Chain A
């Protein structure tokens, strides 16, 4: 068993982080994260490693590089500095269904294959520009799918609103869901969601990328916006 196996899942730091994530994922502006039903109920999936073994140190280093390509160091540290790779591995192992975990795992392999095919080297050996190009292409794919579903949901919502009121109570709820549809389950969507979640709930993400005030002491409901980073949520 390596450090990155069961041990890391149960350190107090990880448990506290998980609590923060459970709260945050419930507030994500109505967008349902892949695996979020498990995040919110806090259920530990009682699964054996159906998708293979635990994430190795190499796996975590690879995930760190993926996350760091999505969220690199700018004037604030990036996802690798915030140990986002380990977080992604934790969430996939602990909260994803076995099917989703398999999709994620297969995706890690697919991305490496794509890099080898395009650049002659696996992802971790590719240059920053090469990595960015690969992920931008994947991002465009998942965004297009996501926009399609949003448009469909909006259409259903508009149709629902324009239906005439029926004389008798409707026998079934004609549900027009604008939010809380499960998003399309592509592996890059998973990686992007987990990278964002891991980064923006990390200490670096909350105290350096965003502005963190532990106990504001007062509430000012309407003040001029000064152009600075967003207030971080409660840790």
Chain B
């Protein structure tokens, strides 16, 4: 699993040319998930959040504008108009067809078999990507943003860099790799605490969860060591 993203909307804000900012904003804005919650029901399961920002265009707009020469250079050195936009990050459902196995046909340059990774988004993700665009366009329009357009820049697994799954935590060693302490069922002195342990992905950035799970597992491991259990 990963988070599929690169779909959203953007537009222009008018009437604010007399305003600017100073310094560097440390982050953008975040809109938490609201779909399939509180009685809302869509044709897909789970949902997405938005990550976005606003600001005045810089010289980057020059690429798309008509002009060459001195006046053009001076104009592009000034701040441009205000724009606002966001990208949605959506949940990818767990799927047994998304898996990692040993590739029996290919070896690396040391003679070891390489990994075969099968991973693709499915119908649920594709249906969600529609709302990811349409919802934000509606929101921006309601806020008076002009020239609102949606985009879907395409996505393949791994682009979200939030890889999760393949060494799931679970209650049954027949259907999972790790117990509830991130401990490998078949090798109690091995703990796996990164995204691999996740049984589902949600739509929120996962690193803090990995860190919390790691702290928890390390604490458990130390206690087990002290009790001579591992």
Interface residues of A (CB under 8 A from B): 24, 27-31, 33, 69-76, 78, 132, 135-136, 139-140, 143, 146, 150, 153-154, 157, 160-161, 165-180, 183, 192-193, 196, 199-200, 205, 209-210, 213, 216-227, 229-231, 233-234
Which residue of chain B is the closest to A128 with respect to CB atoms?
Answer: B69
Chain A residue nearest to B149 (CB atoms) is A178
Question: Which among B9, B68, B70 is the interface contact of A139 at CB below 8 angstroms?
Answer: B68
Whether B83 and A225, one on each chain, are in contact in the complex, defined by CB atoms closer than 8 angstroms, is no
Residue from B22, B25, B66, B76 within 8 A of A223 (CB atoms): B22
Q: Is the CB of B70 within 8 A of A169?
A: no
CB neighbors of A among B58-102 (8 A): 58-74, 76-80, 83, 85
Q: Does B35 contact A (CB under 8 A)?
A: no
How far is B130's CA from A200's CA once the two chains are assembled, in angstroms?
37
Inside 8 A of A153's CB, which chain B residues have their CB?
149
Jot down 18 A-B pairs with beta carbons below 8 A, ordered by A.
A28-B60, A29-B58, A30-B85, A165-B130, A170-B126, A170-B127, A178-B149, A179-B149, A183-B63, A192-B68, A209-B73, A216-B23, A219-B24, A221-B21, A225-B18, A227-B78, A229-B78, A230-B79
CB atoms of A178 and B150 under 8 A apart: yes
Known contacts A71-B73, A176-B150: does B124 contact A169 (CB below 8 Å)? yes
Binds A, one of B151-159, B200-208, B219-227: B151-159
A179 close to B43 (CB less than 8 A) = no
Inter-chain contact A75/B63, CB cutoff 8 Å = no
Interface of B is mostly: mixed
B44 proximal to A (CB < 8 A): yes
Complex: A206 Cα to B200 Cα, angstroms: 45
Q: Bound state CA distance, A188 and B151, in angstroms?
A: 27
Residues on A with beta carbons closer than 8 Å to the beta carbon of B78 = 227, 229-230
Q: Please state if A231 and B22 are interface contacts (CB–CB under 8 Å).
A: yes
Q: Which partner residue on chain B sits nearest A33 by CB separation?
A: B63
A146: B residues at CB distance < 8 A: 64
Q: Which residue of B lies closest to A167 (CB)?
A: B43
**Residues of A contacting B133 in the complex (Cβ-Cβ under 8 angstroms):** 160-161, 176
Task: For A73, give the chain B residue with the smallest CB separation.
Answer: B70
Residue contact A177 to B70, C-beta cutoff 8 Å: no
Contacts of A78 in B (CB 8 A): 73
Q: Provided the pairs A161-B137, A209-B73, A209-B77 are in contact, do residues A139 and B126 lie with their beta carbons within 8 angstroms?
A: no
Contact B150 A139 (CB under 8 A): no
Q: How many residues of B are counted as interface, with CB atoms below 8 angstroms from the partner's CB atoms? A: 56
Contact check, B134 vs A161: say whether CB atoms are below 8 A apart: yes
How near does chain B come to A20, taking the closest CB pair, in angstroms? Answer: 13
Residues of A within 8 Å of B18, CB to CB, are 224-225
| Contact among B24, B58, B72, B150 with A234 in the assembled complex (CB-CB below 8 Å) | B24
Nearest 8 pairs between A and B by C-beta? Answer: A169-B127, A178-B149, A216-B23, A28-B60, A219-B23, A175-B152, A225-B20, A230-B79
- Of the candidates A154, A175, A213, the one whose C-beta lies within 8 Å of that of B149 is A154
Given contacts A29-B60, A176-B152, A180-B153, contact A76 B77 (CB under 8 A): yes
Chain B residue numbers with a CB within 8 Å of A76 are 73-74, 77
Contact partner of A140 (CB less than 8 A), chosen from B44, B66, B77, is B66
Please state if B63 and A72 are interface contacts (CB–CB under 8 Å). no
Given A72-B70, A169-B126: A221 touches B152 (CB 8 Å cut-off): no
Residues in chain B near residue A180, CB distance under 8 A: 6, 151, 153
B10 at the interface (CB under 8 A from A): yes
Chain A residues within 8 Å of B57, by CB: 29
Pair B61/A29 contact, Cβ less than 8 Å: yes
**Are B68 and A200 in contact, CB atoms less than 8 angstroms apart?**
no
Q: Are A69 and B68 interface neighbours, CB within 8 A?
A: yes
B39 interface residue per 8 A CB criterion: no
The distance from the CB of B168 to the nearest CB of chain A, in whole angstroms, is: 25
Q: Contact check: which of B19, B74, B151, B154 meets A224 at CB < 8 Å?
A: B19
